[in-house]
Amino acid sequence: MHTGATGPVARAMHGDILVVTIDNPPVNALGVDVRRGLTATIDAAGADTAVKAVLIVGSGKTFIGGADIREFGKPPMTPFLPDVCNGIEACSKPVIAVIHGAALGGGLEIALAAHYRLALPAAKLGLPEVALGLLPGAGGTQRTPRLIGAAAALDMMLSGRHVGAAEAAKLGLVDRVVDGADPLAAGLAYAQELVQGGAPVRRTRDATQLADTAAQRAAIDSARAETAKKSRGLFSPLKIVDAVQGALELPFDEGQALERKLFLECLDSPQRAGLVHAFFAERETARAPETRSAKPRPIERIGVVGGGTMGAGIAVAVLDAGLPVTMIERDDEALARGRKHVEKVYDGLIAKGRITPEAKNATMARFNGSTSYDALAQADLVIEAVFEDMAVKHAVFAELDRVCKPGAVLATNTSYLDIDEIAAAISRPQDVVGLHFFSPANIMKLLEIVVPAKVADDVVATAFDLAKKLRKVPVRAGVCDGFIGNRILAVYGQAAHAMMEDGASPYQIDKALRDFGYPMGPFQVSDLAGGDIGWATRKRRAPTRDPRARYVQIADRLCERGWFGQKTGRGYYLYPDGARVGTPDPEVEAIIDAERARAGALSGKAPRSFSDAEIVRRYLAAMINEGANVVHQKIALRPLDVDVTFVHGYGFPRYRGGPMQYADTVGLPTILADIREFAKEAPLFWQPSPLLVELVDKGANFASLNQSA
């Protein structure tokens, strides 16, 4: 058995140490072949007298990225991972894991089942199962608390955060950290030292950090209370706490049986399916046809035109990525304000103790400002974030056309204007692309990359490359009013307003959607963003509005009174004394009543009540139907692009995967039947998307379209 391989698991003797190398690109996930290979190798090593110790190493950049996520939801195949881990722990020879890159989920559980753990400085350890709707199911909930105590173990499992090598050593998660980049050399040196020192087999199941039961119980109780408050409808976090309680109260094997039971419950939950969908979808959107066909242009110097909220947020995102930024404003005063906006973000971080004043100064050293476009002569990429007005955009792009070097990427942050028209007005339409950031731009993950007709492929590839550098989640979108997100938002926004006029209060609508999983309802969001923004858009659209279309005027009535939301102390809600959480406003309810009466006099309809379930059905049906239109018209490449847009830009509950994935779980025939039912009263608004009808006719779902682009 000394050399050879069982599938992706290779073995080689180095003196009396058996090196077991897992080679399963891209992240050495623990698919069935790896599990089989590991089991066979460890079993044989135990029986082989020539083997004095076993060293487990990962090939490539990572140790092990976890269980193979692609296997979830498929029929399970033996050996199961908990048994593989138990086999490693039971081995009669010392087993050593050497962790160089990621040891995540099942990867860390393999390391915890080993008897000794060595980390290299670039190691990242974590139990991120919670982000997939799961719990560590291969002994992680039992071994981690025994090794590092319940509080630290729960923190890792409930946050899913990655722990670096130094912190891992401090926690007691690894035995030693050594310098170097070669895991094999470092691991062999450590293994030889252990063998020579006669180091015994040392099993984590026997570790004693849970011995002080009173303190451990207190940690578990407080984690349970905190989790119950914070986990907002999520299924797995409380199961994690239950499993750790099992570690405290039960013998190891019984605790592990409890863990298995809870793990399988999580595995079966629709939340796991939604979260795994989101995991793969957001990796998928980072690839577009242009990222395959073209190489990005180099981007080292970035310009931002406009120092308002959006421009400053974009500048911070660029600075945070370690890149220099040049901000252009029309005069010294505006530039000073723009710079202040940027500094304010870092001052906030200093106040929270998240960065030092020195770190702020070092970052701000990469910030330049100018009132002359000539300062952008050397920029590789410029993002325009000025007022949303076509004439203003034309003026900015004419200046960029004049000063920027050939090949510079010229991007607009417009939310809805026609980028083809912006591009057509300059001499280099091939260099113009849309980069639609979401506010606050340094925080929100979504970046819509809007692809006009004449843009060069390598410009699109550059936009995706920038997204990666800024750690954004990019989604490719076609040109239309509102692109993917705001176009769909406009439609389900109308559905919400129609329900409000028909009898549902904004407070009920908000609550129904919070119960669905949104952090805030649409009227709370409107109050936060500022009602004046939507008002300006409605006025802009008024001349082109279909005169037959229903137009609910309640929002206008509030805006006419200057009730724009939080910033004015009242909107749909009241915010007395700068409160951030609003309370219902009887005056708003009176305005709504008056509008209902006015509209009812015209339509002959009386207000009616809505159940929370109907509110959710109508809101989601409008969203899904327009999502289908957006896919049908190729504004979005696939349904999953709509999902990622809504999860990362519009607060859609991630555990539901996104609106299109949610539609698949409800069933497209049900969604279509709802739309047809609603159409009986409002046929103009509720027109079924041709794509939805086609999929229902074929008995297909949205997922069937996710592979195709």
Catalytic residues: 109, 129
d(CA 450, CA 484): 9
d(CA 656, CA 593): 34
The answer to whether 136 contacts ligand 3H9 (rule: CB under 6 A) is yes
* Of 114 and 385, CB closest to ligand 3H9: 114
Tokens found for residue 292: 């395959």
Closest CB 141 distance from ligand 3H9, rounded Å? 9
* Of 106 and 521, CB closest to ligand 3H9: 106
Closest CB 66 distance from ligand 3H9, rounded Å? 3
Question: Residues for the chain: how many in total?
Answer: 709
Closest CB 128 distance from ligand 3H9, rounded Å? 4
Region from 126-134, 205-213, 448-456, 588-596 binding ligand 3H9, contact rule CB under 6 A: 126-134
Tokens found for residue 40: 């066979």
Q: Which of 10, 99, 134, 498 binds ligand 3H9 (CB under 6 A)?
A: 134
* Of 133 and 149, CB closest to ligand 3H9: 133
* Of 119 and 404, CB closest to ligand 3H9: 119
Number of Cβ within a 10 Å radius of residue 606: 10
* Of 283 and 354, CB closest to ligand 3H9: 283
Considering only residues 190 through 219, tell me which ones interact with ligand 3H9, judged by CB under 6 A: none
Which one, of 332, 358, 57, lies nearest residue 190 by Cα?
Answer: 57
The answer to whether 128 contacts ligand 3H9 (rule: CB under 6 A) is yes
The answer to whether 132 contacts ligand 3H9 (rule: CB under 6 A) is yes
* Of 70 and 402, CB closest to ligand 3H9: 70
The answer to whether 138 contacts ligand 3H9 (rule: CB under 6 A) is yes
Binding mask 97-116 for ligand 3H9 (x = CB under 6 A): -----x-xxx--x-------
The answer to whether the beta carbons of residues 66 and 104 sit under 8 Å apart is yes
| DSSP per-residue codes, 292-339 | HH-PPPP---EEEE--SHHHHHHHHHHHHTT--EEEE-SSHHHHHHHH
**Owner of token pair 């087999």:** 201
**Preceding peptide of 25 cis, ω within 30°:** no
Q: Which of 58, 65, 482, 531 binds ligand 3H9 (CB under 6 A)?
A: 65
Considering only residues 545 through 584, tell me which ones interact with ligand 3H9, judged by CB under 6 A: none
Closest CB 61 distance from ligand 3H9, rounded Å? 7
The answer to whether 68 contacts ligand 3H9 (rule: CB under 6 A) is yes
What torsion do the CA atoms of 379, 461, 629, 517 make, to the nearest 10 degrees?
Answer: -80
Residue 443, burial from CB neighbour count under 10 angstroms (0-12, 13-18, 19+): exposed
Considering only residues 28 through 57, tell me which ones interact with ligand 3H9, judged by CB under 6 A: 29
Which one, of 170, 141, 146, lies nearest residue 156 by Cα?
Answer: 141
The answer to whether 140 contacts ligand 3H9 (rule: CB under 6 A) is yes
Q: Which of 26, 197, 200, 322 binds ligand 3H9 (CB under 6 A)?
A: 26
Considering only residues 331 through 370, tell me which ones interact with ligand 3H9, judged by CB under 6 A: none
Binding mask 427-446 for ligand 3H9 (x = CB under 6 A): --------------------
DSSP count for the chain of H helices, then E strands: 29, 20
Residue 128 CA to chain centroid, in angstroms? 13
Closest CB 359 distance from ligand 3H9, rounded Å? 25
The answer to whether 67 contacts ligand 3H9 (rule: CB under 6 A) is yes
d(CA 144, CA 209): 9
* Of 151 and 281, CB closest to ligand 3H9: 281
Q: Which of 129, 458, 595, 626 binds ligand 3H9 (CB under 6 A)?
A: 129
**Total of chain residues touching ligand 3H9, rule CB under 6 A:** 26
* Tally of CA atoms within 13 A in the half-sphere of 456 that contains its CB: 15
* Of 240 and 325, CB closest to ligand 3H9: 240
Burial 141-179 (b: 16+ CB within 10 A, else e): bbbbbbbbbbbbbbbbbbeeebbebeebbebebbbebbe
d(CA 110, CA 78): 16
* Of 190 and 235, CB closest to ligand 3H9: 235
* Of 62 and 486, CB closest to ligand 3H9: 62
The answer to whether 405 contacts ligand 3H9 (rule: CB under 6 A) is no
Report phi then psi at 520, rounded to 5: -145, 155
Considering only residues 232 through 291, tell me which ones interact with ligand 3H9, judged by CB under 6 A: 280, 283
* Of 629 and 706, CB closest to ligand 3H9: 706
The answer to whether the beta carbons of residues 325 and 304 sit under 8 Å apart is yes
The answer to whether 81 contacts ligand 3H9 (rule: CB under 6 A) is yes
| DSSP per-residue codes, 368-383 | EEESSGGGGTT-SEEE
The answer to whether 69 contacts ligand 3H9 (rule: CB under 6 A) is yes
The answer to whether 66 contacts ligand 3H9 (rule: CB under 6 A) is yes
Closest CB 236 distance from ligand 3H9, rounded Å? 11
The answer to whether 641 contacts ligand 3H9 (rule: CB under 6 A) is no
What torsion do the CA atoms of 413, 415, 417, 419 make, to the nearest 10 degrees?
Answer: 40
The answer to whether the beta carbons of residues 419 and 479 sit under 8 Å apart is yes
Task: Name residue 11's amino acid.
Answer: R
d(CA 709, CA 706): 7
The answer to whether 70 contacts ligand 3H9 (rule: CB under 6 A) is yes
The answer to whether 84 contacts ligand 3H9 (rule: CB under 6 A) is no
**Owner of token pair 């050996």:** 79
Region from 137-145, 420-428, 504-512, 526-534 binding ligand 3H9, contact rule CB under 6 A: 137-145
Closest CB 528 distance from ligand 3H9, rounded Å? 31
d(CA 519, CA 511): 10
Q: Is the dihedral of CA 314, 320, 321, 323 positive or negative?
A: positive
Region from 21-29, 458-466, 554-562, 681-689 binding ligand 3H9, contact rule CB under 6 A: 21-29
Binding site for ligand 3H9 (CB under 6 A): 26-27, 29, 62, 65-70, 81, 102, 104-106, 109, 128-129, 132, 134, 136-138, 140, 280, 283
